[in-house]
Chains A and B, each alone.
Chain A
């Protein structure tokens, strides 16, 4: 069973004097228990994709079109917002980038996790609670018990005390753990983590990633990891989608991608990673920056920054080719480039 299947997702934002093409037809498939990473520069449409999958993107202002949008085999394309409320938090949940802004500043973190159990845990509470008036009281108590359990699960010490803490009273790493506890609370099928460690120090990053990975393996959850940092997906992801300016330019199993990147953009990204065994004098840069989202170049969007670009690249958008099983690349010249590199 696939935890997530998206076919041909397109999102645009009309603005004054033009249209921002944020996402231009991308396909994502995540098998149950697997971790897929979407990698790309800031502004390439990663976050919009994640919000669109959760159906959290408000339309308007966004306009969205999709062929297929299934969560765990269930079509959520037609679900109304009310029906989506039962799905969000329970079947799919999200870890946001900056935990300080993603948590309500005037509510204790415990209460914020409680809300999920209270919103989704109805059936499970039936047995725990007693009849009549006491039920509501017990529901809250039960939610608190589970929250503390969830906090312990993400490695927060003295969870009972932290339950009463406000977000600003916690450290950055602690806050991110709270967000992760929140996402795993109802044991969902799929968790979308949008740059979960970008706001953290490198040492804390590793801890948080470990927790994320542990929990994912333990609970057999699928993970959609969104990041701009290829180095953190190396140990996390099973499959990597490289996104550029609203399109998937390369998709491969993690090992394949690192060993043998096909798209020049992926090569550039890999060149920018620092390694311990680095013998190059300096990092390889990708020149220039992402094209303006409402005035994209003709042809391949990457051609102004690509050292291999030819006339064909400048005129025609390449198609997503499948050179071998489970690998996709959107480049006219990937074969020649690979040959040239050898």
Chain B
């Protein structure tokens, strides 16, 4: 890994982030509504027109909507540089950062658990299927993979919540909102969270497991056809050494890429699932913001998600170049 590559890659990331912020700033602005007209309707009789104009102007200032669009843009960029994403339209005018900070952990509970479960179980299943290539285990995985890819995760979620939640009442079909407000890191609170998170995680993990399984299987089969595996066997290595030291080691490289891609979608990937289970995460926050035309919040969430994805991509590239010496940074893809 050469330093110049690293610097180049980081500069590129910063540039992309800049473009993303610009896009996120201008796209929602096409349909932006004046927050002043929203909260202080002109019919209000308690104040004079001058007072009303002053209040309107103050409100616009509070939400960063005074001046021309370009001025707003420059100001927004300046704020962003200081780590400020603006103010939400929500009642009480919380800052966007606070809104995100409140919802982010709950989304991460779902998506991180889902990702880890998918990865571990998927890799194990995929390796097993590769061993039994062409037998029923392999065919079952292949069929399951086309099957679950065609089943949208929200449909799986609905089915699960219908049967496991309503009919058999094993897991809660809706999230208990007290779980969020009363969370205190006690063992009981944690177990309540896991109990409530079971169905959302499960409905996402089904697809994830199968997808990791299928790619692991394909990768393992491709690698075991490589000649260096034959060399390893000709050296007289034990089966375990060949399998763990050579086959799986090399077969895991594409899985790292897939894992990195999934990490970059960690925050934005559970919007629909969160809605179905009424889970108080980033997805729900975004949908609420969308419903309220709360554009600072929408902008903030999208910028935050993009930044997260960018950092994740960067880290994936670094890790990949460490794992595969053939790749110098930035040459993958």
Contacts and interface: CB of A to CB of B under 8 A. Distances in A.
A and B touch in the complex (CB under 8 A): yes
25 contacts: A51-B230, A56-B230, A86-B236, A88-B236, A89-B236, A96-B227, A96-B230, A98-B227, A101-B227, A102-B227, A104-B228, A104-B246, A105-B228, A105-B326, A106-B324, A107-B246, A115-B237, A115-B241, A115-B245, A116-B235, A116-B236, A119-B235, A119-B241, A120-B236, A179-B231
Contact of B237 (A51, A85, A101, A102): A85
Interface of B: 226-228, 230-239, 241, 245-246, 249-250, 253, 323-326
B155 to A, nearest CB: 39
Contact of A102 (B231, B236, B323, B325): B231
A187 to B, nearest CB: 13
A87 B236 contact: yes
A120 B323 CA distance: 28
A101 B226 contact: yes
A90 interface: yes
B325 A166 contact: yes
B326 A90 contact: no
Interface in A67-96: 81-82, 84-90, 93-94, 96
A305 interface: no
Nearest to B226: A101
Q: What is the size category of the interface that chain A forms with chain B? A: 20 to 34
Given A96-B227, A101-B228, A119 B238 contact: yes
Nearest to A169: B325
A286 to B, nearest CB: 29
A133 to B, nearest CB: 22
Contacts of A103: 228, 231
Contacts of B226: 101
B240 to A, nearest CB: 11
B323 A106 contact: yes
Contacts of A7: none
Contacts of B324: 105-106
A261 to B, nearest CB: 33
Nearest to A113: B235
A89 B230 contact: no
A168 interface: yes
A168 B228 contact: no
A204 interface: no
A211 interface: no
A26 interface: no
Nearest to A54: B234
